[in-house]
Chains A and B, each alone.
Chain A
Amino acid sequence: MIRLEKRPEPSRGFAWAAPILAVIATFFFGGLLFAFLGKDPVQSIVTIFWQPLFGEFAFYYRPQLLIKGAPLVLIAIGLSLGFKAGIWNIGAEGQYIMGALFGAGVGLAFYPAQSAMVFPLMVLAGAFGGWVWAMIPAVLKVKFGTNEILVSLMLVYVAEQFLASMSLGLMKNPEGFGFPGSRNLQQYASAHNAEIVADTGMHWGVVAAIIAVIFAYVLLARHRLGFAIRVTGDAPRAARFSGVNPSRLILFCLGTSGMLAGLAGLFEVSGPSGVVSIDFNVGYGFTAIIVAFLGRLHPVGILLAGLLMALTYIGGDIAQSQMGLPAAAIQVFQGMLLFFLLAFDLFTNFRLRLGRVEVA
């Protein structure tokens, strides 16, 4: 019989090995899935993970890596702060939408004035929009003890309806011949989040994501607040005893993650997407949950995991157009990754022992 035995200390080695093992297991079972769908598994994996980086058209796909990776990393960094402390914001998708709406709203309000102040104002508005949306579950949790998981999630659906209302109503392009959707911000220079270096995918959202990674790293490693987050995650009573104010921590974690998700939305709507439309949000807020866990809630890990996830999006698109691999297969593939990670994580705190069953 095999039994589990708790390690005296968490294994540092396994904490990093688990995501790698999860990726390997996902390659294997994902390959099986692709084979089951009638696709050549090896070719599928190569198409998804090799072609975007080193294939014939890599010059086109590599910038995409940053464009898709930046919002994932930005959102996941925010989520990881809360997740570490046991504060579960799973409504980043809604905060992402609200950030985009607030930011685009400011931009559209100035149209067609040309000023260097427009874009910075939009950035502030975007951050504020996401922050406000996240403060709803935060304040309700602090004031009434309401479950933040359910409230933040419910607010995603509310935000989606809000987005629909805006793109069909208030923000609809008056010169759009009746088509839904706003003016294209890419064509409004003062509001455009353009590439900083042409053809690299490097836009302001990428800069923000890198700053967020550094900020989170310093916060968690060296600052009192980061320490408070880590202690709360390990032992909430010990944190309270040491002087952490749980309410303030909830406000900070949810507020920060909302702000970063709002920024991600703003950089997306003013850059790669350009328009406020019904199908503006594509699930970055949910995929970022996978990114946060896959990155072990560690800033550097999240950076790597975000790039990996961006790769699956880009490679998935290629596989879809070249091999007819359904888009949903990629979604399953991403879900699998999280499953395997959670399963392998067992070995961080436990080890297997061969021997008799133990009941004590």
Chain B
Amino acid sequence: MDLSVINPVLLIAALMSAATPILLAATGELVAERAGVLNLGVEGMMIVGAICGFAVAVESGSPALGFVAAAAGGALLSLLFAFLTQVTLANQVASGLALTLFGLGLSALLGQGYVGVKPPSMPDVNFGALADIPILGRILFSHDPVLYFGLALVAAVWALLKFTRAGLILRAVGENHDAAHALGLKVVRIRVLAILFGGACAGLGGAYISLIRVPQWTEGMTAGVGWIALALVVFASWKPWRVLLGAYLFGGITQLQLNLQGAGVAIPVEYLAMSPYLVTILVLVILSADKSRAPASLGRIFHASS
């Protein structure tokens, strides 16, 4: 084993990339949960986003178009969830599970012709001379645009929730939908929009895996990232900046175990590959003591007459 092949600078740069799919998906889910909707279909929306983005990028030759398609695909799938939970008032847990099961099947169906295909690559943002700064340049200024978009998204969601009236309304709906309704707020409409936003973000996160991280298409390639994103929202106590922190933590562990695998550590590969999931459980245990930050209406069904 040779740990010296692990370069800390490259590790940090890579963990930012490894964290981005989780970050995008978790930020979207955070918005949905702040509106009071628990969508367990993140994994399904991610995988559908992954294949939509992959297919469109391959067909059009443009990764950017691919990401747009991924967001659209994720949002479209989340619309099914919105219909089930907001119109037909179905149980949110069951509907989310249905969305994931359906999404996994749908993506496999859509992706049949794309196994083994290589997608067009997305160039990194050109920061010119900034990228040549030692260490910092490699860490901060050598990434693709979607990674920066993810960071901007966290900032935007934070500002929206904290400073704007739209954010206040979103939080109010998630906190007490009956009171929000009594004030004349459109609970269902606001929630549907939040679900769509969550779906689009999950789609982007999925496409980041299939177009940039891996980059290729295999069935079930999201491998639980969507579920980790769900756990991350709990970890973050529904706060955007803590989502960023958590995503980097998980990104770091994922990247580190990959690097350790590469370095030929004496631990069997399977046990290293378990680590992100075990860490997720550990973090959930440590943080589940305090649930007071959860939106009070989270997961509850709203019907105007009741």
Number of interface residues, chain A, beta carbon within 8 A: 54
Q: Is A117 on the interface with B (CB-CB < 8 A)?
A: no
Q: In the assembled complex, which residues on chain A have CB atoms less than 8 Å from the CB atom of B277?
A: 154-155, 157-158
Whether A145 contacts B88 by the Cβ 8 Å rule is no
- Bound-complex Cα distance A146 to B230 (A): 13
Are A153 and B274 touching (Cβ within 8 A)? no
Of B89, B102, B305, the contact of A332 (CB 8 Å cutoff): B102
A98 vs chain B, min Cβ distance (A): 13
Which residue in chain A gives the minimum CB-CB distance to B279? Answer: A154
Contact of B106 among A83, A162, A335 (CB under 8 A): A335
Q: Is B31 an interface residue (CB 8 A)?
A: no
For residue B301, give the distance in angstroms from its CB to the closest CB of chain A: 10
Within 8 A of B (CB), among A139-161: 140, 144-147, 149-151, 153-158, 161
Q: Which of A37, A149, A164, A334 contacts B101 (CB 8 A)?
A: A334
Contact mask for chain B residues 179-210; partner A; CB cutoff 8 A; 1 contact, 0 none: 00000000000000000000000000000000
Cβ of B40 within 8 Å of any chain A Cβ, yes or no, is yes
Contact status A6-B303, CB under 8 Å: yes
Q: How many A-B residue pairs have CB under 8 A?
A: 145
Q: How far is the CB of A277 from chain B (nearest CB, A)?
A: 14
The answer, yes or no, to whether A185 is at the interface (CB within 8 Å) is no
Kindly state whether residue A45 has any CB partner on chain B within 8 Å.
no
Please state if A343 and B227 are interface contacts (CB–CB under 8 Å): no
Shortest beta-carbon distance, B246 to chain A, in Å?
13
Q: Is the beta-carbon distance between A146 and B274 smaller than 8 angstroms? A: no
Tell me the bound Cα distance from A6 to B305 in angstroms. Answer: 8
Contact of B105 among A136, A335, A359 (CB under 8 A): A335
Q: Which residues of A contact B303 (CB under 8 A)?
A: 4, 6, 350
Contact A146 B285 (CB under 8 A): yes
B168 at the interface (CB under 8 A from A): no
- A331: chain B residues at CB < 8 Å are 101, 104-105, 108-109
Question: For the complex, is A336 an interface residue (Cβ under 8 Å from B)?
Answer: yes
A174 at the interface (CB under 8 A from B): no
Q: Is B281's CB under 8 angstroms from A140's CB?
A: yes
Smallest Cβ distance from A325 to chain B, in angstroms?
10
A338, CB-defined interface residue at 8 Å:
yes
Using A145-B291, A358-B305 as known contacts, say yes or no to A342 and B84 having CB atoms under 8 A apart: yes
Q: Flag if A328 contacts B105 (CB, 8 Å).
A: yes
29 example contacts (A-B, Cβ-Cβ < 8 A) are as follows A4-B305, A37-B109, A83-B94, A140-B281, A145-B288, A149-B40, A150-B234, A153-B224, A153-B227, A158-B277, A165-B268, A293-B94, A328-B108, A328-B219, A331-B101, A331-B104, A332-B106, A335-B104, A338-B98, A338-B101, A339-B102, A342-B84, A342-B88, A345-B88, A346-B90, A350-B303, A358-B304, A358-B305, A359-B304
